[in-house]
Structure 1
Amino acid sequence: MFINSIVKTNAPLPEQDAYLRKIPAISGLSRLDLNCPVTFLVGENGSGKSTLLEAVAVAFGFNPEGGSRNFHFSTEDTHSALSQLLCLYKGPYRPKDGFFLRAESFYNAASEVDRLSKNNLYGSSPDKSYLQNFGGKSLHQQSHGESFLALVLNRFWGNGLYLLDEPEAALSPARQLTLLSEIHRLVKKNSQLLIATHSPILMAYPDAEILLLSDGPIRPVAYEDTEHYQITKSFLENPQRMLRILLEEEPAEGAALSD
């Protein structure tokens, strides 16, 4: 465990970040303990998952737009000041590797990989180019999902801290299963992962802790009690019933209400 606890100080947020006070999981945060090598942040859109993950990443020294701690590019300064209010209580060991992967700015991170590969700034050995750390092929020359997996398969070496923001966004269900296997590979190599996700496939990882961000303090929740699992299960067990409810049309004009 490279991060054991996340503590938010009582310092006030800048006025431009006042909106964070309206997010219960953020405004009510005081201390969040991380107890497992894999922790999932789950909740509805707007619940603060990505905001919190980004703040943890920046507080640890990662680029707000993603990448390793060697990435220093910036296309637009949009991250909040929440990271300045966080204190990360770290374990006795430091990660030898790390990466902040976020779906919304992955294009920019892939462009930075291309730039660094052309400059050959961080070759892993004298006979390897920087790009080979990412599979030997530009991430822009692959589909979104292929480039995501190429990054995880080739660049995530283990003994590291990996922060993933909605990694399922580019992945088919089959590729999400591949990512699940890669998460296990990294755990066996002494890694810690903090993942914001909507994917019930990823959330099923054994012995992971699932933290729910909703209308109150952040709290652990069982996999089967997540809305993601329950809605997906209900839909797959009886899709026609769910579709009838969702797509039910208004009665035709003049039709009897009892029809």
Structure 2
Amino acid sequence: MFLKSCRLKREEVQDFSVYPFSIPTIHHLDTLSLNQTVTFFVGENGSGKSTLLEAIADQIGFHTAGGSRQNVRAYNVHASESHLGDYLRLSWMPKVTDGFFLRAETFYQFASHIDEVDEDGFKSYGGKSLHHQSHGESFLSLFQHRFREKAIYLLDEPEAALSPAKQLTLLRILHDLEKEQNVQFIIATHSPILLGYPNAKIYEFDETIHEVAYEETSHVQISTYFLRNREKMLEELFKEQ
């Protein structure tokens, strides 16, 4: 692991009632250990997992709309202003500068940027424009051809474009990269499939940020219950009020 932890500089926050410090998980954040090769952030929409991931990307120097350090000034798609980033302190050993921040919701704009600047026949993206691949294929092309050793990768909901079968492919890519023990992933996800990656650390975001086992995550529990009790659950869901 390169990034060992991130700490909220609470002493510099003037008002915890102001966004993003008003988000309960951020409000209670102190120091978060990142001592596994693969770390997952999981929680409901609005729980702060993507906000924290984006702030980490900002402090590393990645484009907060997605990309690497080389893309920071290269394309002008609107990037979120990471107000939280200025209040984070990252602890490294050693610090790395190579890597990538995948933000699913702005990936189209990133692909358009690559079309404009590519000079090597899209070698880092499978040999053809990301726009000439399906959404899922373009994600996997990025993972398979752009990701390499001695780097840190931040992925915000990578399952957004991936079928269950392709999510399994992503797990294999993570495994193959991890074997070299020279790469680190921090992934915000809703996917019970991705969360199943072996030996990963899982942080669940609700009122606080706390480590949980795979089977204890609400996403896994809800998905498991639905698959085992589909008819009963749908009957309750559609019941007249």
Aligned to 1:47: 47
Q: Mind listing any 5+ residue stretches in structure 1 that lack a counterpart? A: 121-128, 251-259
In the alignment, structure 1 residue 201 sits paired with structure 2 residue 203: no
In the alignment, the residues of structure 2 paired with residue 75 and residue 130 of structure 1 have an alpha-carbon distance, to the nearest angstrom, of 23
SS in structure 1 at match of 2:59:
helix
In the alignment, the residues of structure 1 paired with residue 2 and residue 69 of structure 2 have an alpha-carbon distance, to the nearest angstrom, of 15
Choose which of 57, 80, 83 in structure 1 pairs with 2:82. 80
How far the C-alpha of 1:130 sits from its partner, in A, is: 5.4
Q: Mind listing any 5+ residue stretches in structure 2 that lack a counterpart? A: none
SS in structure 1 at match of 2:108:
helix
Aligned to 1:21: 21
Measured against aligned partners, the alpha-carbon deviations of 1:43-90 in whole angstroms (never above 9, x if no partner) come to: 111000100000000101101111111102232243231111111100
Paired residues, what number?
237
- TM-score, scaled relative to structure 1: 0.87
How far the C-alpha of 1:12 sits from its partner, in A, is: 2.7
The correspondence of residues 1-259 of structure 1 with structure 2, limited to 5 A, is 1-9=1-9, 10-12=11-13, 18-72=18-72, 73-92=75-94, 94=96, 97-117=98-118, 120=119, 129=120, 131-189=122-180, 190-216=182-208, 218-249=209-240
Deviating 4+ runs (over 3 angstroms):
none
How far the C-alpha of 1:4 sits from its partner, in A, is: 0.2
Preserved contact between residue 125 and residue 146 of structure 2 (Cα < 8 Å): yes
SS in structure 1 at match of 2:76:
coil
Q: Please, what is the CA RMSD of the aligned residues? A: 1.7
Q: Determine which structure has more spread, i.e. the larger CA radius of gyration.
A: 1
For 2:86, give the aligned amino acid: Q
In the alignment, the residues of structure 1 paired with residue 19 and residue 26 of structure 2 have an alpha-carbon distance, to the nearest angstrom, of 10
Preserved contact between residue 161 and residue 191 of structure 1 (Cα < 8 Å): yes
In the alignment, the residues of structure 1 paired with residue 189 and residue 207 of structure 2 have an alpha-carbon distance, to the nearest angstrom, of 18
Measured against aligned partners, the alpha-carbon deviations of 1:202-237 in whole angstroms (never above 9, x if no partner) come to: 000010000011112x11011100001101000111
How far the C-alpha of 1:24 sits from its partner, in A, is: 1.1
In the alignment, the residues of structure 2 paired with residue 14 and residue 176 of structure 1 have an alpha-carbon distance, to the nearest angstrom, of 40
SS in structure 2 at match of 1:240:
helix
- TM-score, scaled relative to structure 2: 0.93
Preserved contact between residue 55 and residue 83 of structure 1 (Cα < 8 Å): yes
In the alignment, the residues of structure 2 paired with residue 110 and residue 203 of structure 1 have an alpha-carbon distance, to the nearest angstrom, of 27
